[in-house]
Structure 1
Amino acid sequence: MWKTRKFWLIVGICFVALSLFAATGLAYQLNHWWNEAHISTDPDKAILSDKQRDKIMTQKLNRNEPEKNEETRYDFYALIIGLDLRDDSFMLNTDTIIVAHVMPKRQRVKLLSLPRDLRVTDLEDRSVKINSVFADGYMQAREKSRLNPDLLSGKTVKLGQFHIYEELLSSGMVVLRETVEEYLDISIDHTFLVHFQTVTELVDAVGGIEIDVKRTMVWDDGADGTSIYFEPGVQHVNGEQALHYARFRMDSRGERYHSNDFERNERQQEVISRIVDKVVSWNSLPKVLDMIDIVAKNVKTDMGQNDMIQLARNFYSGWSSGSVESIPFPGYWNYPFVYIDEEDLEQVKQALKSLE
């Protein structure tokens, strides 16, 4: 059975849409978007264990932060987390995780996709798959809040059709963010949580996209009605087809035809670039407003409103699909984890941090 794979925040689309949106000067709509999309990820408000809090503090004290200068003062790192919320299913594993190095003055974004089975050390000093970290943080917060309801403020966050206590989501986001920070030796400024349905709606909103299929893909799942079939070649796809293309993993023809996470990551980022191509070719405010509505429904972020406006100003007029750069992750599979050699990991870190 083709297991459900979580999806990703289309960071390029958020930046493009916000840039075009803020440039119109429509402050009311931007304020409304922010109010709907905002979520707190303050570690002091998250529901964490004492060991987790101590480790977060130790990591921050030991991390050497590079000094900001005029050239890098607006640069930041963002963590992009995907959840699968379909029908009545609330899936917690985050099988797609992207780290973005955003350089507004250079109008560039570097994207690094981390494999879902990547072996990491969590805040409890356990070796785990990275896609389980958010779920562990969420479930721990839920259990603690059941024993002590006073840990919850009562505020809920709407994600898809679900209304979820803010502290539960933010606790999962915090423990994953801190784990990724330690793994890549960076400080993440902003975190984004996305409902994978964003992909379908955004692709349909831009009128479909062109993708370059590299191989035949075949999958039929009688349990949930999923049917995927692609032949190699350039083709125009709608939102559902684009989602299937990016999520494809298992092949009905057998194991030798399965697709690995590294190939999936490449297809995901191809879809990002194709949507960006469409958006930057527009000169239509109504279309941009539709994009904002889609993002607001399906995306939650701790980015402040002023940061959004500044980001929009810095990116406006210079964004293109060429602004997005993908960083390869040369990992390898050795059951049950994905590993990466230490030397290769250092090169990945440097490529992500580099201003070039």
Structure 2
Amino acid sequence: MSYGPADPTPGRSAQPATGLSAEDRAQRVRFRRAVTLVLMTLVLPGSAQLVAGSERARRTTTRVWTVVLLLAAGLTVVSLLFLGVAALFGTGPREIAFKLGTNVLLLGVLRWALVLGAIGWGYLIVDAWRLGDPLSLHRRQRLTVVSVSGVLCLAVAGSLLFGSHVVAVGRSSLIALAGNGEASGAHDGRYNVLLIGGDQGAGRWGMRADSLTLASIDAETGKTVLISLPRNMQNFPFVEGSVMDEQFPDGFDEPDMYLNGLTTWAADHKDLFKGVKHPGIEATKQAVEGITGLKVNYWAMVNLEGFKGLVDAVGGVELNVRQPIPVGLPHESTFHYIEPGKRVLDGHDTLWFARAREGSDDYSRMARQKCVMSAMLTQLSPQTVVTNLSDIAEAGTKLVSTSLPGSEMGRFMDLALKAKSQKIATLSLVPPMINTADPDIDLVHSKVADAIDRAEGKAAAKGPGKKKGSGSSGVTGGSVGSLSGGYAANDSEDLGSAC
């Protein structure tokens, strides 16, 4: 028998118009199936097992997804109820998110959930590769499937494990930073947080209060007034009924001692502060309450040397340098000046910008310190925090000790974000307004009340008044002004513009 032109040659598979054999076409189908199974697992973990797995694998996958969906539904219902209850008490969604994000128990659960997710998802990708029957593929196709599966497995597992690491770092930082103070409500609609810049040195007990600032924060809007107290203030009163008020009923008149010496005095009289972990800070807090007339909710002690690490961790801070600022002491080999202009300073130079004394005065330093606070608040973005979380966390644990309990951190993160978009007002209890050797406390209370009323819109903002001078050539400052006329950053409705 003869074969016509259209008949296949005996002993060979029929060839379609494309020229591919049946075996080649089958190889292509198997290859596409193997890749599809892996990609399905990337989009929806367990879907490959549902489609191509054994009966046992299908049952297991179905059960797991049922549990996950039920948990998700339950979590959604609980979240909606939680949001509803929180709304009744005036708590916004962002504050709730911060509260949840700073809950160390939830963060611990999330950390291990991410670890388990990395292991489980990676296993499912590998199993999807197995279900694709790679041994039945040609060598090049097999290598392609292995490469795709390996890359996806590493990408998915690596991302989840990195997320777990970030959560673990954040959780550890919260535990390290959280204080053991009791949560307290706002006083007259404001939270008052005492910020103490600690100056630690050889032969000195503990941390000396080098700078004292009371941040009064509106509990609703986050509008902040920074009230600074000079470290050389004398003859000031303590809040009525306090331990220090009993010791100094006529004011702190200890010879040759100032406001920043209270930590030393309290350390020498620990027996007066029974059950108090930080007697120096407690004594300082009682003084600040007596001077300003405001009730302090929490305190935070900032190690100024450790502050360098935080600035370096966020990549530096941009400051407007108005006059040359000396860095170091003239006899040191590394002594130099920060030249005028807008400069991005590292931690070392930022600290000297805030603390330089050469050719300066205490009140100029206070103004510069406020400018650093303003720059850090406005320039530190959530993106910067996330991308530098490990370095920030490491610096933060060496930087701050506080009485703020962990349960309140979410609230103050939310307030910080609100404050970031608003003008910061300042008031410094310094000359020429206040005589630091014999302060008029009634005048101080009046000035503090006026500053808060203006911040809350209850009083008209100050007029332009007399423009503060630019200062003498012997005074360095980040803010315009002079010792005789005062520095703009020390008494301003808008700290950012004053700097």
TM-score, normalised to structure 1's length? 0.67
- Once the two structures are superposed, residues 257-298 of structure 1 have per-residue CA deviations (whole angstroms, 9 ceiling, x without a partner) of x32222111111111222223212636624245324322222
> 1:140, CA displacement in angstroms?
2.0
Q: 1:25 to 1:174 in 2, by over 3 A?
A: closer
Aligned counterpart, 2:388: 287
Which residue of 306, 309, 313 maps to 2:407?
Answer: 306
Secondary structure class of the residue paired with 2:210: coil
Which residue of 226, 236, 259 maps to 2:344?
Answer: 236
Instruction: Give the partner amino acid of 1:327.
Output: L
Which structure features the higher share of helix residues?
2
Which residue of 282, 285, 298 maps to 1:177?
Answer: 285
Q: Does 1:189 align with 2:297?
A: yes
Aligned counterpart, 1:8: none
Instruction: Give the partner amino acid of 1:185.
Output: G
Q: Does 1:32 align with 2:32?
A: no
1 CA distance for matches of 2:307 and 2:328?
Answer: 21
Q: Does 1:202 align with 2:331?
A: no
Q: Is the CA contact (8 Å cut-off) linking 1:213 and 1:234 kept in structure 2?
A: yes
- Structure 2 unaligned residues grouped into runs of 5+: 1-94, 108-167, 239-243, 458-499
Q: 1:38 to 1:82 in 2, by over 3 A?
A: same
Instruction: Give the partner amino acid of 1:95.
Output: D
Q: 1:344 to 1:200 in 2, by over 3 A?
A: same
Aligned residues: percent identity?
A: 18
Q: Is the CA contact (8 Å cut-off) linking 2:102 and 2:410 kept in structure 1?
A: no
Q: Does 1:135 align with 2:264?
A: yes
Which residue of 372, 376, 380 maps to 1:271?
Answer: 372
- Once the two structures are superposed, residues 70-120 of structure 1 have per-residue CA deviations (whole angstroms, 9 ceiling, x without a partner) of xx2xx3111111212357865543120010101242122211111111122
Q: Does 1:324 align with 2:464?
A: no
Secondary structure class of the residue paired with 2:422: helix
Q: 1:333 to 1:94 in 2, by over 3 A?
A: farther
Q: Is the CA contact (8 Å cut-off) linking 1:20 and 1:288 kept in structure 2?
A: no
Which structure features the higher share of strand residues?
1
1 CA distance for matches of 2:299 and 2:422?
Answer: 23
Aligned counterpart, 2:450: 351
Q: Is the CA contact (8 Å cut-off) linking 1:249 and 1:259 kept in structure 2?
A: yes
Q: Is the CA contact (8 Å cut-off) linking 2:192 and 2:296 kept in structure 1?
A: yes
Q: How does 1:238-253 map to 2 (within 5 A)?
A: 238-250=346-358
2 CA distance for matches of 1:96 and 1:286?
Answer: 30
Q: 1:66 to 1:267 in 2, by over 3 A?
A: closer
> 1:136, CA displacement in angstroms?
1.1
2 CA distance for matches of 1:178 and 1:259?
Answer: 30
Q: Is the CA contact (8 Å cut-off) linking 1:276 and 1:321 kept in structure 2?
A: no
> 1:176, CA displacement in angstroms?
0.7
2 CA distance for matches of 1:326 and 1:192?
Answer: 19
Secondary structure class of the residue paired with 2:296: coil
1 CA distance for matches of 2:203 and 2:327?
Answer: 23
1 CA distance for matches of 2:319 and 2:100?
Answer: 30
> 1:302, CA displacement in angstroms?
1.1
Q: 1:196 to 1:265 in 2, by over 3 A?
A: same
Secondary structure class of the residue paired with 1:249: coil
Aligned counterpart, 1:94: 209
> 1:66, CA displacement in angstroms?
9.8
Instruction: Give the partner amino acid of 1:188.
Output: V
1 CA distance for matches of 2:399 and 2:191?
Answer: 22
2 CA distance for matches of 1:172 and 1:104?
Answer: 28
Q: Which moved further from structure 2: 84-93 or 231-240? A: 84-93
- Once the two structures are superposed, residues 170-224 of structure 1 have per-residue CA deviations (whole angstroms, 9 ceiling, x without a partner) of 1111111011111111110101112112321121112112211222334653777
Q: Larger RCO: Structure 1 or Structure 2 (Cα < 8 Å, ≥ 6 residues apart)?
A: 1
Q: Is the CA contact (8 Å cut-off) linking 1:190 and 1:303 kept in structure 2?
A: yes
1 CA distance for matches of 2:202 and 2:440?
Answer: 40
Q: Is the CA contact (8 Å cut-off) linking 1:111 and 1:324 kept in structure 2?
A: yes
Q: Is the CA contact (8 Å cut-off) linking 1:37 and 1:297 kept in structure 2?
A: no
- Structure 1 unaligned residues grouped into runs of 5+: 1-17, 43-64, 146-150, 153-165, 251-257
2 CA distance for matches of 1:78 and 1:246?
Answer: 20
Q: Which moved further from structure 2: 230-239 or 260-269? A: 230-239
Q: Is the CA contact (8 Å cut-off) linking 1:105 and 1:315 kept in structure 2?
A: no
Q: 1:109 to 1:266 in 2, by over 3 A?
A: same
1 CA distance for matches of 2:407 and 2:102?
Answer: 13
- Once the two structures are superposed, residues 123-145 of structure 1 have per-residue CA deviations (whole angstroms, 9 ceiling, x without a partner) of 2213241111122112322xx59
Secondary structure class of the residue paired with 1:350: helix
Q: Does 1:83 align with 2:223?
A: no
Secondary structure class of the residue paired with 2:383: coil
TM-score, normalised to structure 2's length? 0.49
1 CA distance for matches of 2:434 and 2:411?
Answer: 44
> 1:350, CA displacement in angstroms?
0.9
